[in-house]
Structure 1
Amino acid sequence: MIMEKLLCTWFGAGNMRPAPGTWGSLVAIALGVLIHWVGHFPLLLLATAAVTALGFWAVPRYTAGMEDPDRSEIVIDEVAGQWLALCFPSFGFWYMGLPSTDFPYPGWVAAFLFFRLFDIWKPWLVGRADREGGTRGVMLDDLWAGLFAGIATIIAAGISHGFLM
């Protein structure tokens, strides 16, 4: 149970107040950028897959017997969703052959802001997954938010760089 709690709260980030989801996302973005620097997109993608699998494993075990499985201290879902959003600009830089240390702030800041927007706003599939409830819904709404945030980040980059004008 201790390992599940550590994972679900992302080693205590979920215990930070106020807004533990935002704190979890901030910790996730910092660690995600570090992972990108160390191993570029392939390592970030692998880490995203691993944390997602760990989340689907840990959340039901940690919340077993709890009335509400979508507790505010659970932020592993934010980590998975935030890293998914970060994979989009990370892939772009990797695909263009840029060094892993060349990951300028607009890409990861946009991924963070769009992720928080979709995670809080909960449009369409994000809200549907959230309303599903249960431990599966805890993870899925943030993964949908991460997917939408990643797409929005790439669209914003395209507009910013003049590709979509």
Structure 2
Amino acid sequence: MEKNNNKRTLTYWIRKIGASLFFLGYFPFASGTLGSLAAVGGLWYVHSQIGDLHCPERLPLYWGSIFILVAISIYLSSQCKAVFGKDDPSEIIVDEVAGQVITFFMIPISIKTLLIGFLLFRFFDIVKPFPIGTMQELDGGVGVTMDDVLAGVFANISLFLILGGYQLIRSYL
């Protein structure tokens, strides 16, 4: 009964639109991948407008963006029970955005890094190696979001090592 009452409020629709990333989460399959692609597209757009995101003067902006995205994801995900009637529905993909943004922290943005970072994030988010999978056991929106945050951290470290290894090998050739 509460679910039907929520449908009539503006708050309900704001939560639903935000959590599903403007209804991309309703795609019939691979909605998480679609949300990740949207995040990568957004990063590419921001990079094309303001340049390098990893330069020192932009670090506070990047950190602030990560903090805000994670907070919004936790809030919206915690509301998913009232909005979607489930604990962790596939329609919620705002957490994918937070994870993808973390993936590219201090990483130079290029087509190559966006592709590799996207694939690494999706790998860690789908496979959920320890301790990523344990994050889902946390309550509410924290559990929904933190597995993607940690997948983003793993993908970031992996991407950093791949790029560093590539540069090292390239310097010897």
Q: TM-score, normalised by structure 2?
A: 0.79
Query: Residue type matched to 1:5 in 2?
Result: K
CA distances 1:90-139 after superposition (whole Å, capped 9, x unpaired) = xxx3xxxxxxxxx3211111110100000001011211102335321100
Where does 1:121-136 land on structure 2 (aligned, <5 Å)?
121-132=127-138, 134-136=140-142
Match of residue 163 from structure 2: 157
Runs of at least 5 residues in structure 1 that lack an aligned partner in the other structure: 94-102
Match of residue 98 from structure 1: none
CA positional deviation for 1:68: 3.2
Contact 2:80/2:86 (8 A) holds in 1 = no
Match of residue 79 from structure 1: 97
Contact 2:132/2:147 (8 A) holds in 1 = yes
Match of residue 29 from structure 1: 40
Match of residue 139 from structure 1: 145
- Which of 19, 25, 30 aligns to 1:14? It is 25
Match of residue 16 from structure 2: 5
Where does 1:56-71 land on structure 2 (aligned, <5 Å)?
56-64=74-82, 68-71=86-89
CA distances 1:47-92 after superposition (whole Å, capped 9, x unpaired) = 3222211111111123238663211010001010011102231xxx
Q: TM-score, normalised by structure 1?
A: 0.83
Q: In structure 2, how many angstroms separate the alpha carbons of the residues matched to 1:129 and 1:147?
A: 13
Q: In structure 2, how many angstroms separate the alpha carbons of the residues matched to 1:122 and 1:142?
A: 9
Q: In structure 1, how many angstroms separate the alpha carbons of the residues matched to 2:165 and 2:97?
A: 27
Specify whether residues 57 and 133 from structure 1 end up closer, same or farther in structure 2 by C-alpha distance, changes over 3 A only: closer
Q: In structure 1, how many angstroms separate the alpha carbons of the residues matched to 2:68 and 2:48?
A: 18
CA positional deviation for 1:163: 6.4
Contact 1:88/1:153 (8 A) holds in 2 = no
Where does 1:72-111 land on structure 2 (aligned, <5 Å)?
72-89=90-107, 93=108, 103-111=109-117
Root mean square deviation of aligned Cα? 2.2
The 4+ residue runs of structure 1 with deviation greater than 4 A are none
